[in-house]
Every structure is written in structure tokens, then in C-alpha cells.
Amino acid sequence: MKRVFFSAIANSSDAMEPGDHFKNGAISKSQTSRGNKNDVSFKFKINLFAMKNVFLLLIFCFFTSNFVPVYGQSEVSNVKYRQHTGFYLSLSAGPAFGTISNQIKGGDLEKYSGTGALFDIKIGGALQENLILHATMISTSISGAKVTLPYASGRLDDNMSINENMLIGGGLTYYVMPQNILLSGSVGVGNYNITDTKNSDNNRKTDNGFSLQLKIGKEWWVGKRWGLGMALTYGKTFLNNGPYDDIENRFNSNRLGVLFNATFN
């Protein structure tokens, strides 16, 4: 068995042999339960269940917001504007751009790039007016990523996606009022995994490491408690993976995102 992190076949104009561009990768399926396909399947079932509950919560908040009085209004120059107080829920989605690098100790530097989809959920409450403490969950998925090495390049099949996740995170969001400009930062535990929708034997997952996100945006009030807007994000996850089969990797990423924001507060 080849000792690879992404056991995959790339479609390449350079006619690379299957697995050639991954030949120095790290995680053998036989060496660690982190690469077990059941772990990945179970994780995605949990994510789907969590997303379902979040949307149910959104529907509840939407209907109850019409019956809850608006608190936390301030007055500047006799003009009233809303403040951010109480329960906080923010959902964001949009395209993400950037690269994921895999530096194999004593081996090649692999890079995976492409446009992916980024999802960002924040749930928390106001510590004081306009200052929010929240839990953060982030997931970025890139399908058919481009693979670049010093000696070759290619592309993963469209049925294969590379995912970067902030599994457990927290942070602060501050709103500059009355402009309603948000400044946000989150840190947490993250990892990478690859998912093959055609062959779950190719599913892999790394160790956990450090993940962060910085975010700036602008929102407009569209209801008593609802705000809609846009945001720019920068994020990265870096970690040491292994050693497994005497192979050690260092993963790192740099990603930019353009997100649509929906906030209940």
C-alpha cells in the first residue's frame, strides 16, 4: 500500500500516473483511525444535523422577532439607531479563494488551489452594547482542486473535495455604530479532510491544529432584529500531521472569502 495522505487520481494534461503526485504524502489508512471513512461519514452526518437545527432556529427567531420589542436603542443628535444586544446568531456563505500547502518533511511541497464554498456560523450573545462573544464554526470545501508540485501538475476529480474546517472555535465581534460595520476575529481548533463521493475508501483526515479567521463587513437593518450585509474574510489553518509510517507533514492555508451575511440580534 502506498503511504499517501490523499489517495487519489488526478486528471492531468501531463498524463501523470495515478497517485504519482501524492507519492510522498502522509496518512496510511492502516496506521490511524483519523483516516477511517466511518469517521468522515459520521462527521458529515453531525454537520448536516447541526445545519438543520440552525435553520430551524432561524425560522423560530424570524417569527418571534415580530413580537419581541426592540431593546438597546441609542440616540445621537436626536437620531435613534439600533444597538447590538442580547442573543446573537450570524450565518454567512460565499466563495472562498486561496491555497492549501502540504510540506512533506524531507520531501516535496504540494499545493492545492481553487475556488470553493465557505460557510460560517456564529452563535453567542452581547457582553455589552455592540460587543459580541460567540462560538464559531467554519467549513470550506474545494471540489476538483488543482494540484501543483515542483515536477508536475494536475487536478483532482470533481467527485473529490478538499475541506478545511474550524471544528471548535470562539471569538469576538464588534459593531461600529451607527454605521453598523462589523469587525470580527475567531480562533479555534481546525483540520483538513478529503471526501470522495464515489469511493469512500479514499476519505482521509489530518490531525487537529490551530485555525483563525478575521472578518470585516457592513450590515443594514431589514427588520426589528434582522440585519443583512456583506463581509470580507481572511483565514488559515496550520498544523503538523503525523508522523505516520515515519512520514510527517506540515499543512498551511491562506484563504480569502466574500460572504453574504444574515444576522439575528
Return the higher-pLDDT residue of 156 and 48.
156
Distance separating alpha carbons of residues 250 and 245, to the nearest angstrom: 15
Provide the pLDDT for residue 67.
Answer: 42
Q: Determine the length of the chain.
A: 265
- Is residue 224 very low, low, confident or very high in pLDDT (cuts 50, 70, 90)? confident
CB neighbours of residue 161 within 10 Å = 21
Query: Which contiguous run of DSSP H or E holds residue 79?
Result: strand 79-82
**Most confident region among 21-25, 104-108, 174-178 by mean pLDDT:** 174-178
What does the pLDDT read at residue 53? 53
The whole-number average pLDDT for the span 143-155 is 87
More confident residue, 175 or 28: 175
Residue 261 identity: N
> What is the Cα–Cα distance from 145 to 81, expressed in whole angstroms?
45
**Domain boundaries of the chain, sorted by first residue:** 10-264
CATH class of the domain defined by 10-264? mainly beta
Which DSSP string do the residues of 93-143 spell out, in sequence order?
A: EEEEEEEEEEEETTS-EEEEE--EEEEEEEEEEEEETTEEEEEEEEEEEEE
How far is CA 70 from its chain centroid? 32
56 pLDDT band, cuts 50/70/90, is low
Q: 244, 210, 241: which is closest to 102 by C-alpha? A: 241
Q: Are 4 and 22 in contact (CB under 8 A)?
A: yes
Please give the grid coordinates belonging to residue 6: 490523499
Q: Confidence class of residue 234 from pLDDT cuts 50, 70 and 90? A: very high
DSSP 245: T
Which one, of 53, 89, 122, 64, lies nearest residue 264 by Cα?
Answer: 89
What whole-number distance in Å separates Cα of residue 61 and Cα of residue 65? 6
Short-list 96, 114, 63, 103, CA closest to 264: 63
pLDDT over 50 (residue 26): no
- pLDDT at 50 exceeding the cut of 90: no
